[in-house]
Amino acid sequence: MGEVNIVKKIVATLAILALLMPSVAKANDEHFVPKTSGDKLYVVNDVLLVNKKYSLPSDYNPPIASGAMLYGPAQKAFLEMRAAGLKAGVNLQIVSGYRSYDYQNQLFEQYRANFGDRAAQFSAIPGQSEHQTGLAADIGDASYIDLTLEQSFADTKAGKWLAANSTNYGFILRYTKGDDKLTGYMYEPWHFRYVGKKVAKEMTTLKIKTLEDYLGVTDGAGRKVATPLYYQLINNDTLKKVKLFNIAGRNYLLLNDFMELASDEHAMLYIESHDENQYILSTVKPETELAIKKLVLKPQKSGLRTAVPTKSNLKLNGIELKSKAYFIDNNLYISLGDFAQNLGYQVKLDKKEKQFGLEWVKETAFTKGVVSTEPVV
């Protein structure tokens, strides 16, 4: 209890300092990413991730309105949640909200002075604290605020109400029980992170406990982080924007874009039908040596997305394809290498010219015997 009381005193003292910090203009975007920080931030699906691996730069400075303890959308959502809590008999209060880089440094140094290296188990070094985003808060009940920074808070009326209702307002319990190896921090039933209603409810529906698993940073939910690599499809000197993603070292292309890349007047690939369980594809027999489309390599510095493994069956000309596929933003992406090989194409990469195309080299089981007729679209 002695350690807990010291922690409470430190937080209470520094919380007063936080309220005295100068405010800046309010922004409209839900997940604030300052332009000055550029690609220094780790953002997946427009959600900012901060932990012991992905840090914030020292110049990160979200706009916090005067008198607020969180960034605009998070502050508004908390007030709505607090109003609902009062009706249920709990008086929610933010014990600690936004912290600047300097403030977090001061807090961590005080923890380290009292607990030595053990301080890293429950406090973050500057740049690794979610409080610095303006989207995280330590929340308690004003009626028994002394219990807020104890794990027994989970058993209080306020703790139970928050656990059951916070996602309705866009908040998630950030450091869940038994997941310290994923999040980097011990179980904290008082620490909530604003991610928006859509993400919070989807995590609940999918029963995904940590933000790391949801975004695909870890393998717990089978999801992966997809990195955009290329951006332009050339077709007879006509440019079209496309997205090719690298997932775990392999390149994945939007199914429709692959069909366009692999098709010309002699080699047609099209979707015959599809539903949530399977995609049925058909081809017209290829008779040409070279597909005329090419993708120009355009590495992207931002735009990381979460790739969700699909359970859908892929069938080509009635034969099931043994190829990995992912959904990214509800669009089906297929393994470029696997799919091309199944169709008898070889991927030709020209690193010097920074482009690649597909060359048809042989007939396969997927294309053999296909009648050369125009598809019905």
Q: What is the pLDDT of residues 327-363, one digit of tens each?
A: 998 888 888 888 778 777 777 766 666 666 667 677 7
Q: Torsions phi, psi of 163, nearest 5?
A: -60, -35
| 195 lies in the same domain as 344 | no
Residues 127 and 88 in one domain: yes
Q: Is the same domain home to 317 and 171?
A: no
Q: Answer yes or no: do 242 and 285 share one domain.
A: yes
Supply the mean pLDDT for the chain: 76
Query: What is the set of active-site residues?
Result: 188
- Residues of the chain with pLDDT > 90, as a percent, come to 37
User: pLDDT (tens digit, 9 = 90+) per residue, 62-117?
Assistant: 889 999 999 999 999 999 999 999 999 999 999 999 999 999 988 888 888 888 87
Domain ranges, residue 61: 2-215
**Tokens read off for 330:** 């509800």
265 and 179 together in one domain: no
Strand ranges across the sheet with 278-283: 269-274, 278-283, 313-316, 319-320
Q: Within a domain: residue 366? A: no
d(CA 321, CA 315): 6
Letter for the amino acid at 81?
Answer: M
CA nearest to 92, candidates 158, 164, 11: 158
In this structure, the answer to whether residues 16 and 155 fall within a common structural domain is yes
pLDDT at 269 > cutoff 80: no
Q: Which has the minimum average pLDDT: 137-141, 165-169, 192-196, 286-290?
A: 286-290
Positive/negative CA dihedral, 347, 313, 248, 225 = positive
Domains contained in the chain, number: 2
